[in-house]
A = this chain, B = another copy of it.
Amino acid sequence: MSVTAPRGFRAAGVAAGIKPGRPDLALIVADAPCAAAAVFTTNRAQAAPILVSKEHVAGGRARAVVVNAGCANAGTGALGLADARAMGRATAEGLGCAVGEVVVASTGVIGVRLPMDKVRTGIAHAVRELSADGGPVAARAILTTDTHPKEIVALIAGGGGAKVGAMAKGAGMIAPNMATMLAFFTTDAEVPAALLREALVHAVGDSLNRITVDGDTSTNDMAVVLASGASGFRVDGPGPAFDAFRDALTEASRALARMIVGDGEGATRVAEVRIEGARNAAEADRIARTVAESPLVKTALHGGDPNWGRVLAAVGRSGVDVDITRVDVLIGDVWVCAGGAAADYDEDVAHQAMLEDPVRLTVRLGSGPATGWMWTCDFSRGYVDVNAHYRS
């Protein structure tokens, strides 16, 4: 399972003491330097590990990924940047590789320095623990408020057994934009860095960029893919092999996205918001995001209340020029709103549709051919409980 399913990778997860009593430091290591690609948060407040990893991945090569939970190393200034570099250096020394081959990632509280003694000890420990079945342990060591690990393996069609393995953390500060929370992909396909990046951007754009828990795009979002080539399956340009690889990567990324939103902080229910009939994809996505982030839609979702008026109101305030008299809304297969007004529907049947998994909220704009979608979760008392005292 997880990132060690493809050939050519080892992983480990250890308790370094950053998050007392829990595994909190993970390492993914390729047997040899490999092609790599990554996308990063668009938040202007970028965490120190983001700045360091951007530099390191720029050349399209990497050997290892080191990740800690419990401290985001964000809002830590020049000292935090030095810490992130030292974290990469300690990993490179432990593995005997170049520091530029190490991707550094952190997640946790903002504004607090990393306890570097614990990080260094943890890295040394993780290097000793590396194993070809260490993926699941690593997947557990990157979690924060998540309630369970998120890992997946996708087979590449026609790839002769070549795979994509992946793990992620989610839960809070989730509204990825051009990247995601922490998501790590490995593959034993051989894929040049440029194609790897193209596939990653496609996969993330159709999965992790379409989820929201709270609308708060994180300072630390990062999605990384390493390709070992150890399976012998080779992607060397556009064509069926590339398509098969991209599809497997997208499948894995969508599975992680679904797990993240389903395990959103306090989440008890997931909804798929689908916008049809928009003039263009950008407008469809903007409306989908507005509906998916609306606190009133999310609390109605929590209560199982088919309150389509809140969906209509969110569509109307999205900033897109919509003719509301042409707007239809469906909950599941129940047509609740036609032409901007209540349709003739059965409230009990609509209520049942609010209990499906996922709840399907479809908005038809009737003004063009474009579609868009988002996955979101409900807003519960649990979300408030998790976040009112997160640091204490």
Tell me the A residues contacting B by CB distance below 8 Å. Answer: 42-46, 72, 74-80, 109-113, 172-173, 175, 177, 214-219, 293-296, 299-300, 302-303, 305, 307-310, 312-318, 320-325, 327, 337, 339-342, 379-381, 383-385, 387-392
Among residues of B, the one whose C-beta sits closest to the C-beta of A78 is B341
- Residues of chain B within 8 A (CB-CB) of A384 are 299, 302, 379-381, 383-384
- Residues of chain B within 8 A (CB-CB) of A172 are 296
User: In the complex where A309-B72, A316-B45 touch, is A295 in contact with B342 (Cβ < 8 A)?
Assistant: no
A387 and B380 alpha carbons, distance in the complex (Å): 10
A305 and B389 alpha carbons, distance in the complex (Å): 6
A152 → chain B, closest Cβ, in Å? 27
Contact B342 A76 (CB under 8 A): yes
Classify the interface of chain A: helix, strand, loop or mixed.
Answer: loop
A41 → chain B, closest Cβ, in Å? 8
Contact A216 B381 (CB under 8 A): no
5 interchain pairs, CB-CB under 8 A: A45-B324, A111-B312, A111-B341, A216-B310, A217-B316
Contact B385 A314 (CB under 8 A): no
A303 and B388 alpha carbons, distance in the complex (Å): 4
A361 and B294 alpha carbons, distance in the complex (Å): 24
- Residues of chain B within 8 A (CB-CB) of A42 are 317
Contact A391 B302 (CB under 8 A): no
Q: Which of B80, B305, B316, B341 contacts A46 (CB 8 A)?
A: B316
Among residues of B, the one whose C-beta sits closest to the C-beta of A384 is B381
User: In the complex where A215-B294, A342-B75, A381-B384 touch, is A390 in contact with B300 (Cβ < 8 A)?
Assistant: yes
Among residues of B, the one whose C-beta sits closest to the C-beta of A172 is B296
A350 → chain B, closest Cβ, in Å? 11
A327 and B111 alpha carbons, distance in the complex (Å): 13
User: In the complex where A219-B312, A385-B381 touch, is A391 in contact with B44 (Cβ < 8 A)?
Assistant: no
Contact B111 A44 (CB under 8 A): no
A82 → chain B, closest Cβ, in Å? 12
A80 → chain B, closest Cβ, in Å? 7
A390 and B328 alpha carbons, distance in the complex (Å): 22
User: In the complex, which of the residues A172, A339, A342 has the most CB atoms of chain B within 10 Å of its own CB atom?
Assistant: A342
A364 → chain B, closest Cβ, in Å? 14
Contact A110 B299 (CB under 8 A): no
A325 → chain B, closest Cβ, in Å? 7
Contact B302 A388 (CB under 8 A): yes
Given A79-B341, A110-B309, A111-B341, 6 more pairs with CB closer than 8 A? A45-B313, A74-B312, A74-B313, A218-B313, A295-B295, A295-B379
Among residues of B, the one whose C-beta sits closest to the C-beta of A389 is B303
A170 and B78 alpha carbons, distance in the complex (Å): 45
- Residues of chain B within 8 A (CB-CB) of A317 are 42-45, 175, 177, 216-217
Contact B215 A387 (CB under 8 A): no
Contact B385 A75 (CB under 8 A): no
A317 and B173 alpha carbons, distance in the complex (Å): 11
A179 → chain B, closest Cβ, in Å? 12
Among residues of B, the one whose C-beta sits closest to the C-beta of A219 is B313
A148 → chain B, closest Cβ, in Å? 22
A181 → chain B, closest Cβ, in Å? 13
A72 and B312 alpha carbons, distance in the complex (Å): 13
A311 → chain B, closest Cβ, in Å? 9
Q: Which of B300, B320, B392 contacts A388 (CB 8 A)?
A: B300
A300 and B389 alpha carbons, distance in the complex (Å): 7
Contact B383 A309 (CB under 8 A): no
A305 and B109 alpha carbons, distance in the complex (Å): 12
A363 and B295 alpha carbons, distance in the complex (Å): 25
- Residues of chain B within 8 A (CB-CB) of A303 are 387-390, 392
